[in-house]
């Protein structure tokens, strides 16, 4: 029992470290620049270097900004906020709920416009899409919170015209093959039901959710952002191969920090897979033992004890195996 518990703890620890590596890689400014260029329409016509230099404000905040937070009096929080990014309530924990943090959150500005357009960007990484709820509902909740949290930080009283547009970009790994290498966008659009009274799009197009589902890099050759993320976040692609692809196809130099996280991710990925394979092997071995014992009992008319002895099952495993078999078959 101790051995099984220890393995579970080790696996959970490795998965937490793996998640941290993913967030660190995604928070690299050159990676964020690619995501902004490919997923945020406002940056489509800007070069990667321009986005890095002029569009990403300050340093991205990784796992420090609470999703759920109680409204604070501005005078209580402004001094702390002024030292980081305007309008970001960092580490404000909800009194009613446990803390849930955005994976990555930062501000971005669209230059060369009559009035500077400022956006709030959230990047979320998901190991898979196996959740007990539709991920899109969680994403909609996140963008809604990013809108409502602007009151008393970005705008005050009834100055709703100052609300900034928000993006929540979800990167899902290990999805079903039919979903892999796909991108889906959700946003508010205008529908004229009766008559024709158009509104300025900038007044209602305030929140967008993007779902990026990763897969094989080889199958995403014509989808730059998917191929980039497929390669970057793969725990199977060796660091030297990542270096070659990222530098050749995306002009992304393998910096010391990217190289470090890529190496750690590769090692952790192998460890997690080994644990999974080991557990699957142990389960398969147990199932095989049970099937073999039952077959021996039926074909040779043996008791469960005799069949187990004939198989040479170790003494420490016999009692648990007998209990399982007793629940599966009744020997007459």
d(CA 116, CA 97): 36
Average pLDDT, the chain: 79
Is it the case that residue 75 has pLDDT exceeding 90? Answer: no
Burial (0-12, 13-18, 19+ Cβ within 10 Å), 228:
buried
> For the segment 160-216, what is each residue's pLDDT rounded down to a tens digit?
999 999 999 999 988 888 999 999 999 999 999 999 999 999 999 999 999 999 998
Confidence of residue 326 (pLDDT cuts 50, 70, 90): confident
d(CA 23, CA 31): 11
Phi first, then psi: what are they for 119, rounded to 5°?
-120, 155
Predicted local distance difference test score (pLDDT) of residue 42: 94
How would DSSP label each residue in 170-230?
EEE-S--TTTSSEEEEEE-----SSS-----GGGT--EEEEEEE---GGGGTT-HHHHHHH
User: Max alpha carbon distance in the chain (Å)?
Assistant: 88
Q: Which of 20-29, 34-43, 230-239 has the highest mean pLDDT?
A: 34-43
Residue 248 has which token pair? 């050749």
Predicted local distance difference test score (pLDDT) of residue 15: 67
- If you ran DSSP here, which 8-state letter would residue 162 be given? G
Task: Report the predicted TM-score, pTM, of the whole model to 2 decimal places.
Answer: 0.71
Q: Give yes or no for a contact between 275 and 10, defined as CB atoms under 8 angstroms apart.
A: yes
d(CA 35, CA 119): 14
Confidence of residue 95 (pLDDT cuts 50, 70, 90): very low
Phi first, then psi: what are they for 62, rounded to 5°?
-110, 115
Instruction: Tell me the average pLDDT across 273-299.
Output: 63
Predicted local distance difference test score (pLDDT) of residue 281: 45
Is it the case that residue 302 has pLDDT exceeding 80? Answer: no
Neighbours of 233 (CB within 10 A): 22
Confidence of residue 278 (pLDDT cuts 50, 70, 90): low
State the SS3 of 62-95. ECCEECCCCCCCHHHHHHHHHCCCCCCCECCCCC
d(CA 214, CA 226): 6
Is it the case that residue 91 has pLDDT exceeding 50? Answer: no
Instruction: Decide: helix, strand or coil at residue 122.
Output: strand
> What percent of the chain is modeled with pLDDT above 70?
76
């Amino acid at each position: 029992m101790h051995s099984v518990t220890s393995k579970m703890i080790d696996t959970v620890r490795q998965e937490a470290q793996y998640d941290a590596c993913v967030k660190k890689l995604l928070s690299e400014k050159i990676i964020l620049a690619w995501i902004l260029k490919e997923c945020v329409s406002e940056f489509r016509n800007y070069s990667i270097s321009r986005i890095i230099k002029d569009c990403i404000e300050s340093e991205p905040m990784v796992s420090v900004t609470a999703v759920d937070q109680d409204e604070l009096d501005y005078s209580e929080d402004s001094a702390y906020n002024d030292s980081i990014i305007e309008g970001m309530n960092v580490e404000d924990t909800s009194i009613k709920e446990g803390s849930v943090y955005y994976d990555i959150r930062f501000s971005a500005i669209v230059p060369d416009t009559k009035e500077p357009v400022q956006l709030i960007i959230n990047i979320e990484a998901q190991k898979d899409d196996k959740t007990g709820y539709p991920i899109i509902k969680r994403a909609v909740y996140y963008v809604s919170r990013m809108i409502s949290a602007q009151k008393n930080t970005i705008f005050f009283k009834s100055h709703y015209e100052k609300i900034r547009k928000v993006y929540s970009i979800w990167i899902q790994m290990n999805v079903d093959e039919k979903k892999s290498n796909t991108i889906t966008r959700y946003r508010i659009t205008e529908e004229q039901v009766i008559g024709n009274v158009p509104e300025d799009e900038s007044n209602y197009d305030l929140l967008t959710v993007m779902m990026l589902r990763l897969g094989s890099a080889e199958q995403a050759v014509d989808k730059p952002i998917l191929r980039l993320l497929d390669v970057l976040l793969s725990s199977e692609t060796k660091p030297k191969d990542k270096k070659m692809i990222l530098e050749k196809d995306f002009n992304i130099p393998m910096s010391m920090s990217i190289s470090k996280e890529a190496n750690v991710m590769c090692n952790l990925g192998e460890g997690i897979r080994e644990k999974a394979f080991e557990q699957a092997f142990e389960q398969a071995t147990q199932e095989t033992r049970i099937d073999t014992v039952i077959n021996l009992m039926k074909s040779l008319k043996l008791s469960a004890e005799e069949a187990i002895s004939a198989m040479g099952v170790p003494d420490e495993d016999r009692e648990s195996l007998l209990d399982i078999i007793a629940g599966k078959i009744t020997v007459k």
